[in-house]
Each structure stands twice: as structure tokens, then as C-alpha cells.
Amino acid sequence: MAFLGQEEQLREFQDRFKYLYAAVFIGLGFLLIRLVDLQILRGDRMRQYSEENRIKRVRIPAPRGMIFDRNRQLLIDNRPAFDLEIIPQYLKESKAVPEVVGKLSKLIHTPEPQILTSLEKAKGQPSFLPVKIKTDLTRDEVAAVETWRINMPGVQVSEEIKRTNIFGDIAAHLLGYIGEVNQTELPKVNAIEGKNPYKLGDSIGKFGLEQRMEDSLRGIDGEKLVEVDALGRTKLDKGGGRVIQGGLPEKPPIPGKNLILTIDQDLQMAAAEAFGEKSGSVVAIDPRSGEILSMLSRPSFDPTEFSRGIPAQLWKQLLSNENKPLRDKTIQDHYPPGSTFKIVTAVAGLEEGVIDEHTRFNCSGSIRLGNRLYHCHLKKGHGEVNVVSAITQSCDIFFYRVAQRLKSVDDIAKWARHMGMGKRTGINLAREVDGLMPTEEWKQRRFNQPWNGGETLSVAIGQSYVLTTALQLANLYAAVGNGGTLYKPFIVKEVESNDGQVLEEFKPTLADNTQIKPRTRELIMQGLWGVVNAPGGTAASQRLPGMDFVGKTGTVQVMRIAADKIYQKCDTLKYRERHHGVFAGFAPAKNPVIAVAVIAEHACSGSRGAAPIARAIVKKYLEKYYPDLYGEKALAQKGKIPPSSELPILSPIPGALTEEDEGVTVNDDPDSRDVPLANPPKPSQSDRED
């Protein structure tokens, strides 16, 4: 019953309800139309979107290709490792960032600021992509994270692949290492790699073969689908959930290709053992093809430490080490070759016709050119010497005289370059330096000064501006051993698929084929044979009975010494002032199958510091690959008689040299003071004699 006077008001409100009802029905109509559109007309598409919200694509990292030595011995392998990741999208949506970061810090023993810094650095990438917080979790850390993960939205443990060098620091510079792609590198590498782009967190070769053969070693990542809840936590595998309509199927990863190297790991181990605690490098090469048999730089580092992020303290130690373990001394450091270069001067003299096998010079211990006195390393002199005995006893005076007979230093440079000196070998490794073989034109261009005759004398014995790497020196002796054929050194023998199918095979490449005369080679060979096998040779103690091992010692001074101290013993000097020891040689003499060059830093002499390393490598190689000729039984049967005993020294040599004499300092300037020897300038781009 209406109150008195309210009938008119009620009728007025009832009229307004009509509009309200109309609005409600119109709204319901639009809602119905929208539901029909979403559920019927576009139902399949909306269902797909819904499925994708509950399904997460998870990357399956592809294993990198493995690396084997020439005998299929595994050198680089892939082993499982666990990383902790955070997906920023789910972490932010949970609105529990401080709590999660604090808990995580305790579980993985990582400071909270470090975790937050990692998240901050990743702000440039989509928030649904995972960010690596810590690599190489321990088993205890993995267990702890998995236990508490239900309370830590966005946190996950991913299984990754740890690149492992099976033999630790052996051949680290050759094999190289990998690391994560950073934001600076990403645009550059993706500009080159279009089909299989990199993402932040992906691994890439940074050094050595890992870098140079990245395209072959890198695989293609796979993908799997997992069901997640609203906070991104995995609920179950795709196989236990509903199938995504029209979605991508699970894609298995494609492993990278395997590399078969020319390296022999047994030689690597023999070289490392012989080097001991010395610093330096060694290269062994097959003179018949250019295959690298051994390549070692010491000291070294373990590349496995780099594959998952190197600790800051270890990185600091490597950088501060005075012996430079991060540098590949086989190709990145160059040194004066010292007396090992004398065979180049001998080849130049013989081939240019200024000397022959009958040429003899008298060595009294020094010669004078103008107002300067040039010493032989043996103070009392060698007496009368020819080309063979001069090589055997490393007589400086003989090679000074040869240099005086040549028209200019350019004659020496010509033959040096034919045998690979002063230019890159072209090996498939980054950062190889050129070395330096000076010419008259080079000095005029570099210093705006004319060449003088005294500099040619220094060049003739491997001093002055001459610089070489261990690889160039090994290739030089390989070329001399085979008669003049210079090959481009190579390390990778084959590229194979994961199932062992050969995809690419590398063949020898000719770099220079300027042959030397047979008689020239024979004379050089006689001199080198005497170095190791004759009583007066500078490396007679390194003789390998029955193996016909030949070579040449060298001693390179690193400090300029005053005239009154040029014959002081190297062992009395401070370590950093001691001479480098150099040795290069090959075996067997007639048809060599291995050539070796060793540079032992601050080892005082080639005979004591470098030759024993080369001897160990040659012995190991000949015994392993030619047991019928050089095994213990074979050598016992032939009474350990050297096959080249028919190559005698051409004449008796007075004043047989002892190994102690070989280590004295040679100084071509009697007026010098006790000041450091000026380092020859490193060749710039314009200095290269191409």
C-alpha cells in the first residue's frame, strides 16, 4: 500500500526502470555476441592462445662437436652441468622479489647485489627469457633450490653442457675455449649468422680452434614444451598434458660436427713432460704435408675454467703472471732465431754461388768491420772451418764472411722468405704474427735510414731485426729437410658428422716450391747431422742412436752486455736476463717425417734448454709410428748404428766445442754499456714484405 502522496513518484520511477531494463538487455546482447565470437567464430584461435599461456617452450641446448686427435683420442668433450636461472616475468608478477632474492642468496651462496645486478643487466631482453644467475651449481645447491622452488616464482634449474678439456692445460692455446655471447658481440655475430642466431647466454668460441671452427662445432638447439602454472612453475611435461592444436612439435637438438685433428696427443704429453716448468713453445710438423703433429705453449691454463665463466681471482692471476700464460707463444710471440738461422745464410751463400763445399775461412774468435769488432761465441776461435763444420760447431765468423760476400742482406732475405720466414704461415688460428725478415728497402721505409754492412753480419747469425715464431722456425726446417717444398701448416684433418661420416677433408697446400740444389741440401744435412751426432757438435749429448736425428742449436741474448762481460756464464745472470735457448731439427735426415722447433725462454742455451724437448718428441714419434725401424728391437738388431754415419764431417775440426761454451753471450758492439738490448720493432702493416 502506497503512502499518501507517493503514487506519482512511484509511477515516475517505474517509467525509468524501462530504460534500465533496456540497457541491461542491450549489454547482455553485446556480451552474448562477444561470447559467440570468442567461443564459436574464433574459438580455435582463442583456445590456442590459452594453451600457449599454460605451455612454455624450453630450449634443449645442442652439444658442441667433440674434438679428437689424429688417432681418435678424445681431447674436448661435453659434460652435464646445472645452472640457476630466473624468468623476470614470473618473478615480477609474484610481487615477492626481495623475498625470493634473499632466499636464493642463501641457497646458492651468492650475494643479493650480484643476483640483482644480473637481473638488471638483462633488462634489454624480453622478460620471458631466462637470465643466468649462477653456473655450475653443486649437487647440494641443486637439491636445495629444487626443495624450495615452489616458493620461488620464476626460479628454475636448467641442465647445460660443460665444455671439458680432457687433458687440462695441454694445448689450451691450440684448442681454445668458449664463453657466453655478451651484448656487445650479439649484433655482430647475428649479422653473420642468420639461420641460427645467437641469444644472450649462448656459448660461442672465443679463442683457438673453438673460435676458428665455430660454424662446424656449434649445433642447433632443440625445443620441448612443458606445462606451467600462473607463476611459471613447471607442472608436468608436455607428454602428460593436452596437445597444443597447431603448435610446433618437440624438436630434438642437432649436435655440432666433430673435428679430427692432425695433432698426436702422445706427442703433446711427451712435450709437456719434457718442458717441465720452463716457459716457451714447441711445434712439430710433418715435412711431407704440413700437418701439425704437436703444438704447445707454456705456461698454460685450463680451458674448462673458461667454458662456464672464469672466477675473477683466477682471471687476475692469469693476467698478472709474468710468463704470460694467456699468450700462444707458438704464433703470437716472435723471437730472434739465433744460430738456428745460420742454415738460411748457408743456403743463400751456396745457392747464390759465393761459397761452395771447398770454401774455408779461418776463425780466430773475432773479425773487425770498420771500427766495430764482431765476436764469435767461442773466444779462442774454431780455426779453419768450412760450411759443414761451421754449422756443426756454430761458428759465427764463417757466416759473417758469407754475409760479406753476398751482394746485400736482400740475398739472405730472398731465401729466408722462400722458406717461410718473415710472413704468416696461414695456419687456421687467429692472431698469428708475421715475424720479420729485414731488407734494405724495409729499413729505409721504417727508419728513413740506409742499411749498413754491419747489420748484414748480425742478420747472418739470426740477430739484428730478424724475428720468427716457433711455427715459422719448424716450417723452415721442414722445408730444408724435404729439399725446399714449403707447405701451409694445418691442424684440422677432417670434419665429421655425429655418426662418423666425413663431411670435409683437408689436404696439404703448397706455399712455395723453390727447390734448393741437391748438393746444397746434402751439405746442410751434413752440418746438421754433426750438431747432434758428431763429438764436436753443440748438441752431441742429445743424440738418438739409430734414429738419425739432426738439428741446430741457438742461443738468443735478451740483454745487451758490456764488452768485458760478453763471455760470462749465463747461469750467473738473473732469470729475466738469461738467454733464450732455441733448437730446430728433423728426423730422419734423408727422408724426414717430423720437424721440430723449440724455444725455451731464459733457458741459457739451445743444447741444454731446448734440444732435450725436441729429442723427446722425435723419439716418441719415431718409436710410435715406425717401430719396425726405430723400436727397441729394431735398433738392437742393427747395433744402434746411425744410418747417416756415411755422412762424415768434411774435415777435422780443432778446438771441439763444449756445451758450456755454447751458452756465452755474443756482442757485436765492444763500446756498449750495461743497458738493456733494444727490442727490434714489431712489424706494422706497412712493414710486411709481401
DSSP collapsed to 3 states, 417-429:
HHCCCCCCCCCCC
Banded pLDDT at 37 (limits 50, 70, 90): confident
What is the separation of C-alpha 334 from the centre of its chain, rounded to a whole number of angstroms?
Answer: 15
pLDDT mean over 203-215: 92
Which residue has cell 746438421?
A: 528
- Low-confidence winner among 129-133, 396-400, 625-629, 654-658 (lowest mean pLDDT): 654-658
CATH (residue range 267-299+327-489+508-682): 3.40.710.10
Percent of the chain with pLDDT over 90: 50
Q: What is the pLDDT of residue 57?
A: 73
Query: Rounded to an integer, what distance in angstroms lies between the CA atom of residue 470 and that of residue 476?
Result: 10
Cβ-Cβ contacts under 8 Å for 139 (sequence gap 6 or more): none
Query: Rounded to an integer, what distance in angstroms lies between the CA atom of residue 478 and that of residue 490?
Result: 14
How close are the terminal C-alpha atoms of the chain, in Å? Answer: 116
Inter-residue contact 223 to 251 (CB < 8 Å): yes
Residue 555 scores a pLDDT above 50: yes
Q: Return phi, psi of residue 24, to 5°.
A: -65, -45
Inter-residue contact 82 to 158 (CB < 8 Å): yes
Compute the Cα dihedral for 431, 435, 441, 445 and give only its sign.
Answer: positive
Mean pLDDT of the chain: 84
Inter-residue contact 624 to 339 (CB < 8 Å): no
Q: What is the pLDDT of residue 684?
A: 40
Percentage helix, strand, coil, to 5, in the chain?
40, 20, 40
pLDDT mean over 189-216: 85
Residue 197 scores a pLDDT above 90: no
pLDDT (tens digit per residue) in 16-25: 667 777 888 8
Q: What is the pLDDT of residue 154?
A: 86
Compute the Cα dihedral for 204, 209, 213, 218 and give only its sign.
Answer: negative
pLDDT (tens digit per residue) in 631-675: 888 888 776 544 444 444 444 333 434 443 343 444 333 333 232
Burial (Cβ within 10 Å: 0-12, 13-18, ≥19) of residue 195: exposed
pLDDT mean over 50-54: 64
Cβ-Cβ contacts under 8 Å for 220 (sequence gap 6 or more): 62, 196, 253, 254
Residue 546 scores a pLDDT above 50: yes
Residue 316 scores a pLDDT above 70: yes
Residue 48 scores a pLDDT above 80: no
- Low-confidence winner among 110-124, 233-247, 416-430, 555-569 (lowest mean pLDDT): 233-247
- H helices within 55-96, ranges in order? 88-93
pLDDT mean over 321-346: 94
Banded pLDDT at 272 (limits 50, 70, 90): very high
Residue 186 scores a pLDDT above 60: yes
**Cis-peptide into 80, omega within 30 deg:** no
Residue 58 scores a pLDDT above 60: yes
Q: What is the pLDDT of residue 648?
A: 42
* Grid coordinates belonging to 353: 754461388
Enter the pTM of the model: 0.80
Q: What is the pLDDT of residue 664?
A: 41
pLDDT (tens digit per residue) in 592-602: 999 999 999 99
Residue 133 scores a pLDDT above 60: yes
Banded pLDDT at 569 (limits 50, 70, 90): confident
* Grid coordinates belonging to 98: 626481495
Query: Rounded to an integer, what distance in angstroms lies between the CA atom of residue 570 and that of residue 395?
Result: 19
Higher pLDDT, 670 or 588: 588
Q: What is the pLDDT of residue 489?
A: 97
Residue 91 scores a pLDDT above 90: no
Domains of the chain, residue spans: 56-79+160-257, 267-299+327-489+508-682
Q: Return phi, psi of residue 621, to 5°.
A: -65, -50
pLDDT (tens digit per residue) in 350-376: 999 999 999 999 999 999 988 888 889
Percent of the chain with pLDDT over 70: 84
Q: Where are the beta strands (DSSP E) in 370-524?
A: 372-375, 383-385, 486-488, 492-496, 502-505, 509-512
Compute the Cα dihedral for 660, 666, 670, 675 and give only its sign.
Answer: negative
pLDDT mean over 427-440: 95
Residue 131 scores a pLDDT above 60: yes
pLDDT mean over 394-401: 95
Domain 56-79+160-257 has CATH 3.90.78.10: no
Higher pLDDT, 51 or 82: 82
Residue 622 scores a pLDDT above 50: yes
